[in-house]
Amino acid sequence: MRFVDEARISVRSGNGGNGCVSFRREAHVPKGGPNGGNGGKGGDVIFRASEKLLTLYDFRLKRRYEARNGQPGMGSQCNGRNADDLIIDLPVGTLLYQIDEDENETLIADLSENGKEVAVCSGGRGGFGNEHFKSPTMRTPRFAQPGEKGEEMNVRLELKILADAGLLGLPNAGKSTFISTISAARPKIAPYPFTTLIPNLGVLINDFGEHFVVADIPGLIEGAHEGLGLGHQFLKHVERTSFLVHVLSAEELDADDPWAGFDLLNEELRRYSDELAKRPQLEVINKIDLLSEEELNALKERAAQEKRPVFFMSALEGDGVDALVEKMWRLYEQSREQR
């Protein structure tokens, strides 16, 4: 299934049922009065966050959603049935934007918690039947009230995945291998750039049953904040993360400036969001199995001299992975205490 993180749909609540005009006609009742029932209420449109859904793919296939109308009133004082509400399930982390006639957008809800609901369109009220209007001065009302119309709205859905940690890196940095090593996630892994085309989620679980979610974001390139490459459309997915893990490939390091890749990623984050650039982050050099012992030691010495806390690992062979995961757990616990 394709990962779809945006969709535009229209929704309409149900109309209220019309009131009924009716009079009693029983035998042996010489003065039968009005007995028309009220119409039923139209169904509301309610969006609900559900952890069972992962993408907005279905909303690219169906773009129109309508709640049922209320039933009209009937004679013998029978009120019309209220329509059931239309509940539309969305992935947890979906933002709802109302679109007006001028194509301006207004945020109306953030479905950030499983089970959270928000009603966006109220169903029309049912009309009163003629029994409602009888009075000492109006004994035979021959009219009833029509039901109110439902509401209609154009909505843009935007999904921002919920993860505690976000894996960022240049293409072919080995993030997919890393997330497959530390979790049960099985993303596509291949020796060429841009193998990750959609965000992948992995769950880390410790011995106490605690867990946190890691998101593998597609590789970023210079100019990503302006829409270049694949990563620009996924930068928004790291906005909800508590901390970031920047991963570079050892085979692509610049000998004169080995940390240039980290600086490039940080600059893209800053241009996209100042707040995101200030998020706690870990810097990781991956694929150290491709370096000689002398090259690796030289990198470690330079990081120590520049007081740059860089982690070195081989996600493929497992070297240094435990130390990084332990640090990620500590950052996760710190972020949880600050919430």
> Which segments are annotated as binding site?
169-176, 194-198, 216-219, 286-289, 314-316
3-state secondary structure of 246: strand
Q: Rounded CA gap, 77 and 156, in Å? A: 43
- Beta strands at 117-121 and 152-159: parallel, antiparallel or unpaired: unpaired
Residue 121: strand, helix, or coil: strand
Annotation: binding site for Mg(2+): 176, 196
In DSSP terms, 6 is beta-bridged to: 158
Q: Is 80 in contact with 126 (CB distance < 8 Å)? A: yes
Q: At what angle do helices 175-182 and 321-337 cross, to 10 degrees?
A: 80
72 close to 80: Cβ distance less than 8 angstroms: yes
Cβ neighbours of 49 (radius 10 Å): 22
Residue type, 98: Q
Annotated binding site for GTP: 169-176, 194-198, 216-219, 286-289, 314-316
Torsion of CA 284, 290, 294, 295, to 10 degrees: -50
Q: 220, 208 in Cβ contact below 8 A?
A: no
Residue found by looking up tokens 């806390």 in the block:
309
